[in-house]
Structure 1
């Protein structure tokens, strides 16, 4: 049986990571701290055993959001990456930073007292039509600075690094 392997990183590619084994307790946290840390209405997280987790490129910046928790993010592009309790034997990964985020389905929600009261109505919102011309998408694709959803030997792709 093959060991599960998850890779991921920030939007600009300055920080990349790898986790071996299944990610534990994939969940969506609705607490106010997670909302602020993610700049969103919730933060999906899952735990990687620290012994099976490694940074493969760069180092995150850390913000101590409480006496117990620090949050890791990319100092270059600002992507929220980790929810870390340094004394624990695991580190929580922000699931949106996985190269294959659809591979890890949340099994629980937490801190729902702060959950947006209107979430139940999201599927009823109108959907924007697809653009009639692909000009905007082509312009974005031609100037895309986002790291691809896979490990690269260096980034940006046009640069090379010694060592």
Structure 2
């Protein structure tokens, strides 16, 4: 079975996803833009398919009642978006080693996007 590996910038946190990666989406909400420095592109992974090494190096930030965001406490890489009480985790596309075998399928919260860039035509765009 195919797997996809990745890590934070310093390599302290490593991820391994069994099977194919789902198509990614890009979130343009103000929280994702502020935390990532641009917009946030991620893919949702069901927890049984995910192995994380170095979990004790993850710092969690509770950004709302329903979501927490995980990053490496050593290098600061923003890696995870965790919808509390769901059996999936959104993982940063930039954390994966290439090839990922997937593509960006949608942009969400485009109403909140930064004014300094344009979204390419041909990809689904949602206001929220």
TMscore range, shorter length? 0.7 to 0.9
Match of 1:41 in 2: 38
TM-score by length of 1: 0.67
Which consecutive unaligned segments of at least 5 residues does structure 1 have? 123-163
Q: Over aligned residues, Cα RMSD in angstroms?
A: 2.0
Match of 1:113 in 2: 111
* Number of matched pairs: 119
User: Which secondary structure does the structure 2 equivalent of 1:100 belong to?
Assistant: coil
Match of 2:18 in 1: 20
Residue 103 (structure 1) shift: 3.5
Residue 100 (structure 1) shift: 1.6
Mapping for residues 115-130 of structure 1, pairs under 5 Å = 115-120=113-118
Match of 1:9 in 2: 7
Question: 1 CA distance for matches of 2:99 and 2:112?
Answer: 24
TM-score by length of 2: 0.83
Mapping for residues 38-77 of structure 1, pairs under 5 Å = 38=36, 40-59=37-56, 60-77=58-75
Higher strand share: 2
Which consecutive unaligned segments of at least 5 residues does structure 2 have? 121-128
Which stretch shifts more, 41-50 or 23-32?
Answer: 23-32
User: Which secondary structure does the structure 2 equivalent of 1:120 belong to?
Assistant: coil
Task: Summarize the Cα distance change of 1:83–1:23 in structure 2 as closer, same or farther, 3 Å threshold.
Answer: same
Match of 2:124 in 1: none
